Structure 1
Amino acid sequence: MGDTDGSSSAARGAREEEENARHEGFFGRIIGALSPAEADEEEADDTSAGAGDSARNLPLGMGNLRRMRVEDVMIPKVEVVAVPEDITLPDLVEVFRESGNTRLPVFRDTLDTPVGLVHLKDFALKHGFNGESPDFFLGDLVRPLIYAPPSMPIGVLLQKMQSDRMHMALVIDEYGGVDGLVTLEDLVEQVIGEIEDEHDLEEGALWAQESSGAWLVEARAPLDEFEEASGLRLITEDAEEEEIDTLGGLVFLEAGRVPARGEVIEHPSGAEFEVVDAEPRRIKRLRVRMTGQAGE
């Protein structure tokens, strides 16, 4: 009788565990793989036999949840696209269009005084994108934000984002100022790799022409080869003197610095280089629009 009761209890326990696993979701399973005790262990403890076995059973990149900090993955403050609380409706529409973002931090006076975020869906449902709305006030659309210190492990922030159902966090320094911004996608990519979107090229491709006629180009693309493919003449005398070989190098030369994401650099030929993706120290991807002489 005791054996029968024990078997029934074990069966019920197995079913409950299976049901819990089904409902806890992807992010819950990621966080659950790192127990609090494991997260507090020193790196030296990971060399033990038990820890080594656990690490081998984790998906590739899972250890980043414990090793990496928010400051390692955040978008720097200078690259954060945000809007003031008193922005007008046409200006907000323009920021959404130019940035391509669906969520924008909202601030009062300066970015160091954030009040929350505005979601494109909320704005579009209430005001649309055409005409004027006499009762428009951005403060009515503001949602709360998560605030995180730079030293927080990304696994902790990922868990908080999941529990609070938020996709964006501002990184706050010890003095209460804004250091940068991090999104849910930034965190997940540290575990499963880069998530491709409409700004990503096919594997191995250095450029592709978009339906609008513009070119989406990797910054490392050879300048002479892109010239031949696009029909543009981009190599200037300065570029020849500096021995610039890549499109990113040309844009750096024209700007005199590493431009930020979303910035547009004009070329003497009439072409425009929009920085689609960049890091503080390098340009990664560009959109080349052919206007004026370049279009001809």
Structure 2
Amino acid sequence: MGDDHSHSSRGSATKSWLDRIAAIFTAEPQDLSDLVEVINEAAMRKLIDNDTQSMLQGVLDVSKMRARDIMVPRSQMATINIDQSLEQMMPLLLENNHSRYPVVNEDKDHIEGILLVKDLLQHSLQGNTEWNLRDLLRPAVIIPESKRVDALLKEFRQKRYHMAIVVDEYGGVSGLITIEDILEQIVGEIEDEHDDEEDVDIKKMASHVYQVSALTPVDEFNESFGTSFDEEEAGTIGGIVLHAFGHMPEKGETIELQNLTFKVSKANSRRLVQLQVIRAKTAADTSALQKD
């Protein structure tokens, strides 16, 4: 009897939640706040797990985004010049490990096309000593900064291309966007076999140099470095650093906080990923070096 009542209660709760979803779609809400509320309530009731909640929230977020919001900015685009030889390209290809690259003529406003590394590899294996890079290029897909991200994802899937060049209202190149950039808004950071493993939050690289995950909790960072960053300001050291910058920093930017130098080692359009932290050398360190 008790069990029947328990099953009935759970069934009623589930039905009530489903009824609410049905009611929302039937009512055709003017904004997404009702959907967000239902998703959050479903997570609280353990009807969906946290990962599912995050993915659903990501889908809703993508529906409000424009290409300019998540594109790789022009300054961070890895490009190949149309006049480069295979030998000249190799350092760039090995450093970035991308599957495709925009090919430019003189500057990034003049896109000749998109080079797929697999096309280059196939051509190289054929043993051709004389070849023209233009013959390997795929057409570049050009989109405006205002392009809706959800519409772009649909085009990526339907037309089977993976990269688009983003231009501003004057036709100048603003950046690029890939299908992976969009999917990461939904499922989070996508790591591949070329990405560095980041299982360890804090890794010592040299006597005063550390590699630190931006997701390192503030209390853990404070304990390791003897700092006093406020946990109320942000939960992770990446949040602290981002707040201090006041903007989304690019790779290589530095800032000094509490006698530490923070250098951005890895970042994407949405968040910091990896930081290099450098301790200032103390008088004791200098004295020890002089004795040596």
Q: Is the structural similarity TM-score above 0.5?
A: yes
**Structure 1's 208 and 161: CA in aligned 2 closer, same or farther, altered over 3 A?**
farther
Match of 2:266 in 1: 277
**Structure 1 contact 206–217 (Cα < 8 Å) conserved:** yes
| Residues 1:106 and 2:103 aligned together | yes
Match of 1:113, SS state, is: strand
| % same residue | 30
Match of 2:120 in 1: 123
CA–CA distance in structure 1, aligned partners of residues 81 and 130 of structure 2: 17
**Structure 1's 199 and 276: CA in aligned 2 closer, same or farther, altered over 3 A?**
farther
Match of 1:169, SS state, is: strand
CA–CA distance in structure 1, aligned partners of residues 32 and 269 of structure 2: 33
**Structure 1 contact 201–207 (Cα < 8 Å) conserved:** no
Residue 140 of structure 1, CA deviation: 1.5
- 1:1-296 equivalences in 2 (<5 Å): 44-46=30-32, 59-128=56-125, 134-197=129-192, 198-202=195-199, 205-207=200-202, 217-218=212-213, 222=221, 225=224, 260-261=250-251, 276-279=265-268, 284-285=273-274
Q: Any gaps of 5 or more consecutive residues in structure 1?
A: 1-37, 227-245, 251-257, 266-272, 289-296
**Structure 1's 175 and 72: CA in aligned 2 closer, same or farther, altered over 3 A?**
same
Name the aligned partner's letter for residue 59 of structure 1: L
**Structure 1 contact 116–143 (Cα < 8 Å) conserved:** yes
Match of 2:58, SS state, is: coil
**1:159-187 deviation line (CA, Å, top 9, x unaligned):** 11111111111111111111011111110
**Structure 1's 193 and 259: CA in aligned 2 closer, same or farther, altered over 3 A?**
closer
CA–CA distance in structure 2, aligned partners of residues 59 and 80 of structure 1: 30
Residue 59 of structure 1, CA deviation: 3.2
TM-score for the superposition, normalised by structure 2: 0.56
Match of 1:269 in 2: none
Residue 284 of structure 1, CA deviation: 3.2
**Structure 2 contact 165–176 (Cα < 8 Å) conserved:** yes
Root-mean-square deviation over aligned CA pairs: 4.5
Name the aligned partner's letter for residue 110 of structure 2: T
CA–CA distance in structure 2, aligned partners of residues 148 and 223 of structure 1: 45
**Structure 1's 282 and 192: CA in aligned 2 closer, same or farther, altered over 3 A?**
closer
**1:61-85 deviation line (CA, Å, top 9, x unaligned):** 2212321111111111101111111
CA–CA distance in structure 2, aligned partners of residues 200 and 139 of structure 1: 36
CA–CA distance in structure 1, aligned partners of residues 270 and 57 of structure 2: 27
